[in-house]
Homo-oligomer: A and B are copies of this chain.
Amino acid sequence: MSLNIFQYFQPKDKKFFPLFERASSNLVQTSKVLVELVNTSSPEKKRELYKEIERLEHVGDSITHETFHELSANFITPFDREDIHALVSSVDDVVDYIHGSVKRMELYKVDQMTPPIIKLAELIQKSSEELHTAVVELKNLKNISKIKEATVRINSIENHADDVFDTAIANLFETEKNAVEVIKMKDVLSALETATDKCEDAANVIGSILVKHS
C-alpha cells in the first residue's frame, strides 16, 4: 500500500478547495440562469437574465484570478500546480462560453430559441452539476467512485451534445436558405457545444488528479 501523502496536506489546505468549490458552484448557478434564459419568452426577462450571466462571468473571473494568485504565492499546493491551473481554467472556460453564447444571441438578435439551443443549455446544466459534485468530493477523496461516476457522465453528456450540435448544423444547412442566419445560429450553437467540451476538459483534469492521488 502506497503512502497517501494527501491525507497530511489536505487538512491544512484552507485556500484551494474553497476556491474550487466557489468556481464550480458559480458555474452551476450560471448554467441554471442559461436554462431559464433559453426557456423564457419575455424579452425583458431575457435581458435581465443576460445581465445576470454577465455578472456571474465576472464573479468567475475573480475566483480564477484569486486561484492563480494563490498558486503563485504558495509553495505547497494540494495537487500539482499545472492540474490546479488547468482545472480552474477549464471551469472558467465553461462560464465564458455560456456567457459568449448568450452574448451572441443578444448581439445577433437571435430570438428564436430552437430545440437544439434548449437541449444544449440543459446538457450544459447537467454537466455543470456533475462537475460540481466531483469537485466537492475532491477535497477528501473518500468517495472516489462517486467522482469517477460523475466524470464518466460528463464525458457521455459531451458526446450527446456533439450529436445534438452536428444534427442541428446539418438541419440548418438544409433548411435555412439565408446564409447570414446560418452564420449567426452556427456561432450560437458552437459556443454552447464548446461549453460542454470545456466541462469534459475539467473532468479529464480531475481524472488525472485521481490517478496521482489514489
Contact = CB atoms under 8 A, between A and B. Distances in A.
Interface of A: 68-69, 72-73, 82, 103, 107-109, 166, 169-170, 173, 176-180, 182-184, 186, 208, 211-212
Contacts of A173: 108-109, 180, 183-184
Contact of A72 (B68, B109, B208): B208
A125 B62 CA distance: 28
Given A72-B208, A72-B211, A211-B72, A179 B183 contact: yes
Contacts of A107: 166, 169-170
Contacts of A103: 166
A154 to B, nearest CB: 15
A180 B179 contact: yes
A108 B183 contact: no
A69 B207 CA distance: 9
A168 to B, nearest CB: 10
A177 B181 CA distance: 11
Residue among A69, A170, A180, A208 facing the most chain B CB atoms (10 A cut-off):
A180
